Chains A and B, each alone.
Chain A
Amino acid sequence: NAGVTQTPKFQVLKTGQSMTLQCAQDMNHNSMYWYRQDPGMGLRLIYYSASEGTTDKGEVPNGYNVSRLNKREFSLRLESAAPSQTSVYFCASSEALIRGNSPLHFGNGTRLTVT
Chain B
Amino acid sequence: SQQGEEDPQALSIQEGENATMNCSYKTSINNLQWYRQNSGRGLVHLILIRSNEREKHSGRLRVTLDTSKKSSSLLITASRAADTASYFCATDSYSGGGADGLTFGKGTHLIIQP
Contact = CB atoms under 8 A, between A and B. Distances in A.
A25 interface: no
A103 B48 contact: yes
Contacts, number: 87
| Highest count of chain A CB atoms <10 Å: which of B31, B88, B91 | B31
A97 interface: yes
Nearest to A108: B42
Q: Is the interface of B mostly helix, strand, loop or mixed?
A: loop
Contact of B100 (A4, A58, A102): A58
A42 B29 contact: no
A31 B106 contact: no
Contact of B106 (A42, A100, A103): A42
A4 to B, nearest CB: 7
A42 B35 CA distance: 12
A97 B106 contact: no
Contact of B95 (A4, A31, A99): A99
B44 A106 contact: yes
Interface in B50-96: 88, 90-93, 95
B95 A108 contact: no
A42 B29 CA distance: 19
Interface residues of A, number: 34
A69 to B, nearest CB: 18
A98 B93 CA distance: 11
A18 to B, nearest CB: 25
B95 A42 contact: no
B104 A42 contact: yes
Contacts of B93: 99
A43 B99 contact: no
Contact of B41 (A43, A44, A108): A108
A99 B97 contact: yes
Contacts of B102: 45, 99-100, 104
Interface of A: 4, 30-31, 33, 35, 40-45, 48, 50-51, 56, 58-59, 90, 92, 94, 96-109
